[in-house]
């Protein structure tokens, strides 16, 4: 009976702790612009909550009387029940969004999550003080706890998110917390009274060097998990589906490593890790444009899994006995919290690019056991020479266009590593040449990073180009420039804008998403254009005439407002717009709150009766048209669809736009004369609302459709 109660409590606490993570992150996404950084900051919060919870469990385990920790923990459970918020409605703070997210989560969920988080180490410690089976080595309970966490993560995108709205999700979570509290109280009064074991002299056997190893071996896999999550969700979509998969793999590596009989032995991992790191590095070298979506994801996740098993296997190898159990878990939590701090707060402020993932990837090479050999070998120097040669080669040479020397450098690292230090040095040099703006074949005029991502302005073939998260967001020729207004992604919408201009002497329009300001040149001097962008760095780049001059030179009366497009539009009392343009995707990751039914109701409310809504749905990985069609049917809007094939010689990129209106005459004319087509119902109806959205059915797992 006692082992069963321990198992139920550990399973429930882990399930509740990990199902709330994607829930609150998804709830916060619309408030903070749909950026993948929301997930990273939420993970930072949960890692530090775990640190506090494990520290609290460590302190409770030090009490000499058996009843003290039970009474104190029981009182904290009662307080947390009373502290549960009745609802969860965050508000925006664009000044410091990361700090605002942390503040809101701490004040609303801090206490209940500390109680849940403390369960794993505290109850394992309590179990070790009983006479139950395996009480002398209760680490198997940690594997059971992680199974609950893993099931919660898998249940969220494939079950909870698919069938329940956010309000119901939170209500069920509160019910689950109450059930957990009941089982915990039953356990607290049922555990046999026992005297806690006194700490032995073993404490002195674990030096600070060993404790630093505990922290380091937990820091690396956690940082890699956050890095690969950011990488995948930035280039595909900021959605729980692509958050929970790396986290689930992270938990699976814990389950395997802490199992009494691991299904993947640590010795096998040590022998084969080098094989698995080949493929993600190849992905870094050849770029996302040469790989299928599923291949790119699989390569990075497989490599992450092996590196996590490697680090955690070493962690298990040097684990202490039960007298140091809570101290051990505290060090694990500290490593995770430091990883969250590094990836969530420090990296966006210290680095101008997304360098934390390759940096920790290279650091993980130090954990690979290789034959003993001192110093940094000749491999590193040969590698440096290869990369330097590659840098100075002409861009058109086949050696460079096919990445031959870089692949040769990778092969050299893996075939002739000599030792882990040499392997780390070689990988670090390769990544410096791959990621540093100093070694790009194109001149980097500026590279900036903040909460909303990485922005680069490049000088390419007589043009300045704005790139964010591997997506081109506009360009401008520096001399002898032609009319740019219909270039890049904007040629399909020119016909719609011109149609409106023939019927209105002065257009009143709102554009969500600034980019370079390129689209502003489609408007006339007497048109009024309000441009909204959530990212201050984008506004500064577009306003800097050393990079782009559209905001200065384009004819219309332009006002630029910083803020979330939907919130700013809602707060604007004006309801006589002729045109609303939604072009706010900072990468292929989409802010879903701009495509919900409530969002389209807002756009419809803001335009005139014969007004137009234009939405850019260009995306390499997601087919978004069904979402627009379903919402338009609810609002009785006509939907037109237009795609543009790439023609780089004319400065045109592959693009996909939809137009929504009630103006039938305009729709007919655009279909007859401008290449727009009526968007018919496509298969299943996918209606997104502020309370419900699910990206999984929309992912295109084959070759990218639109760049």
When comparing pLDDT for 594 and 124, which is higher?
A: 594
Percent of the chain having pLDDT more than 70? 77
Alpha carbon distance 126, 196 (integer Å): 9
Alpha carbon distance 639, 637 (integer Å): 6
**Cβ within 8 Å of residue 271, ≥6 positions away:** none
Mean pLDDT over 573-583 rounds to 90
- Domains of the chain plus CATH, in order, are 2-195+203-367 (1.20.1250.20), 378-439 (no CATH), 484-698 (3.40.50.150)
Contact (CB, 8 A) for 117 and 15:
no
Burial 595-613, CB ≥16 within 10 A → b, else e: bbbebbebbbebbeeebbb
Query: What mean pLDDT value characterizes the chain?
Result: 80
Longest dimension (CA), the chain: 87
Percent of the chain having pLDDT more than 90? 23
Mean pLDDT over 425-445 rounds to 70
Alpha carbon distance 334, 106 (integer Å): 18
Alpha carbon distance 16, 143 (integer Å): 16
Q: How confident is the model at residue 705 (pLDDT cuts 50, 70, 90)?
A: very low
pLDDT score of 706: 39
pLDDT in tens, 386-411: 556 555 555 555 445 545 656 666 66
Beta strands at 463-468 and 508-512: parallel, antiparallel or unpaired? unpaired
- Identify the three-state secondary structure at position 309: helix
Q: How many residues does the chain have?
A: 707
Ranking 120-134, 232-246, 653-667 by mean pLDDT, the lowest is 232-246
- Identify the three-state secondary structure at position 642: strand
Mean pLDDT over 121-138 rounds to 74
pLDDT score of 559: 94
Most confident of 75-89, 236-250, 371-385, 690-704: 75-89
pLDDT in tens, 49-64: 989 998 888 888 776 5
Q: How confident is the model at residue 529 (pLDDT cuts 50, 70, 90)?
A: very high
Burial class (CB in 10 A: 0-12, 13-18, 19+), 627: buried
pLDDT score of 483: 61
Burial class (CB in 10 A: 0-12, 13-18, 19+), 398: exposed
Nearest to 594 by CA among 510, 504, 502: 510
- Identify the three-state secondary structure at position 238: coil
pLDDT in tens, 469-520: 667 788 888 876 666 555 667 778 888 999 999 989 999 999 999 989 988 9
- Identify the three-state secondary structure at position 645: coil
Torsion, CA 117, CA 121, CA 124, CA 130, rounded to 10 = -120
Q: How confident is the model at residue 90 (pLDDT cuts 50, 70, 90)?
A: low
DSSP conformation class of 652: B
Contact (CB, 8 A) for 224 and 336:
no
- Identify the three-state secondary structure at position 372: coil
Q: What is the CA radius of gyration of the chain?
A: 28
pLDDT in tens, 156-176: 888 888 888 888 998 999 999
Edge-first strand listing for the sheet containing 508-512: 557-562, 528-533, 508-512, 577-582, 607-616, 655-661, 638-644, 677-678
**Cβ within 8 Å of residue 89, ≥6 positions away:** none
pLDDT score of 199: 46
Q: What is the DSSP string of 501-553?
A: HHH-SS-EEEEE--TTSGGGGGS-TT-EEEEEES-HHHHHHHH-TTT--HHHH
When comparing pLDDT for 698 and 337, which is higher?
A: 337
Alpha carbon distance 334, 337 (integer Å): 5
pTM passes above 0.85: no
Burial class (CB in 10 A: 0-12, 13-18, 19+), 554: buried
pLDDT tops 80 at residue 697: no
pLDDT in tens, 292-330: 667 778 888 998 999 999 999 999 888 887 777 778 888
């Amino acid at each position: 009976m006692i082992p069963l109660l321990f198992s139920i409590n550990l399973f429930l606490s882990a399930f509740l702790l990990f199902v709330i993570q994607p829930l609150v992150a998804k709830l916060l996404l619309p408030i903070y612009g749909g950026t993948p950084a929301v997930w990273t900051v939420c993970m930072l919060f949960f890692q530090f909550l775990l640190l506090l919870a494990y520290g609290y469990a460590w302190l409770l385990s030090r009490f000499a009387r058996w009843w003290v920790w039970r009474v104190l923990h029981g009182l904290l459970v009662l307080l947390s029940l009373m502290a549960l918020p009745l609802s969860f409605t965050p508000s925006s703070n664009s000044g410091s969004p990361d700090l605002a997210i942390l503040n809101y989560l701490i004040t609303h969920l801090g206490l209940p999550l500390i109680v849940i988080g403390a369960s794993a180490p505290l109850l394992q410690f309590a179990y070790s003080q009983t006479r139950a089976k395996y009480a002398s080595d209760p680490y198997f309970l940690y594997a059971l706890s992680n199974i609950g966490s893993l099931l919660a993560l898998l249940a969220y995108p494939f079950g909870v998110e698919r069938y329940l709205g956010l309000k119901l999700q939170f209500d069920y979570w509160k019910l689950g917390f109450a059930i957990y509290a009941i089982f915990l109280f039953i356990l607290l009064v049922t555990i046999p009274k026992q005297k806690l074991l006194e700490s032995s002299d073993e404490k002195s056997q674990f030096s600070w060097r060993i404790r630093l190893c505990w922290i380091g071996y937990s820091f690396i896999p956690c940082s890699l998990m956050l890095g690969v999550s950011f990488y995948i969700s930035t280039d595909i979509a900021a959605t729980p589906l692509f958050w929970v998969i790396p986290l689930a793999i992270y938990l699976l590596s814990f389950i395997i490593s802490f199992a009494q009989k691991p299904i993947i032995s640590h010795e096998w991992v040590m022998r084969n890790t080098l094989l698995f790191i080949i493929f993600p590095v190849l992905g870094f070298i050849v770029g996302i444009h040469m790989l299928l979506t599923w291949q790119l994801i699989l390569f990075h996740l497989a490599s992450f899994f092996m590196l996590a098993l490697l680090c955690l296997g070493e962690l298990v190898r040097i684990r202490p006995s039960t007298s140091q159990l809570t101290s051990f878990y505290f060090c694990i939590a500290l490593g995770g919290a430091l990883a969250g701090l590094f990836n969530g707060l420090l990296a966006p402020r210290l680095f101008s690019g997304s360098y934390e993932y390759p940096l920790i990837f290279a650091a993980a090479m130090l954990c690979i056991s290789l034959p003993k050999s001192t110093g940094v070998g000749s491999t590193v120097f040969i590698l440096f020479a290869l990369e330097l040669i590659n840098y100075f080669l002409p861009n058109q040479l086949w050696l460079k266009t096919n990445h031959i020397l870089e692949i040769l450098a990778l092969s050299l690292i893996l075939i002739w590593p000599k030792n882990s230090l040499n392997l780390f040095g070689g990988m670090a040099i390769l990544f410096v040449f791959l990621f540093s703006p100093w070694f790009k074949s194109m001149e980097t005029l500026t590279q900036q990073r903040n909460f909303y991502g990485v922005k680069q302005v490049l000088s390419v073939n007589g043009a300045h180009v704005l790139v964010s998260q591997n997506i081109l967001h506009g360009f401008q020729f520096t001399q002898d420039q032609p009319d740019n207004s219909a270039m890049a992604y904007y040629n399909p919408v020119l016909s719609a804008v011109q149609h409106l201009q023939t019927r209105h002497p002065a257009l009143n329009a709102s554009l969500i998403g600034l980019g370079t300001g390129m689209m502003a040149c489609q408007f006339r001097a007497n048109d009024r254009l309000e441009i909204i962008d959530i990212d201050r760095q984008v506004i500064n780049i577009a306003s800097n005439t050393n990079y782009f001059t559209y905001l200065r030179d384009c004819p219309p009366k332009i006002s630029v407002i910083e803020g979330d497009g939907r919130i700013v539009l809602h707060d604007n009392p004006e309801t006589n717009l002729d045109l609303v343009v939604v072009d706010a995707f900072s990468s292929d990751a989409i802010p879903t709150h701009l495509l919900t039914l409530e969002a389209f109701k807002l756009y419809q409310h803001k335009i005139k009766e014969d007004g137009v809504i234009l939405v850019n749905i260009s995306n390499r990985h997601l087919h978004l048209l069904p979402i627009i069609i379903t919402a338009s049917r609810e609002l009785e809007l006509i939907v037109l669809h237009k795609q543009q094939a790439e023609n780089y010689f004319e400065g045109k990129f592959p693009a996909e736009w939809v137009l929504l209106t009630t103006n039938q005459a305009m729709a007919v004319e655009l279909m007859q004369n401008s290449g727009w087509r009526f968007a018919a119902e496509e298969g299943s109806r996918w209606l997104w609302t502020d309370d419900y959205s699910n990206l999984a059915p929309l992912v295109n797992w084959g070759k990218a459709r639109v760049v």
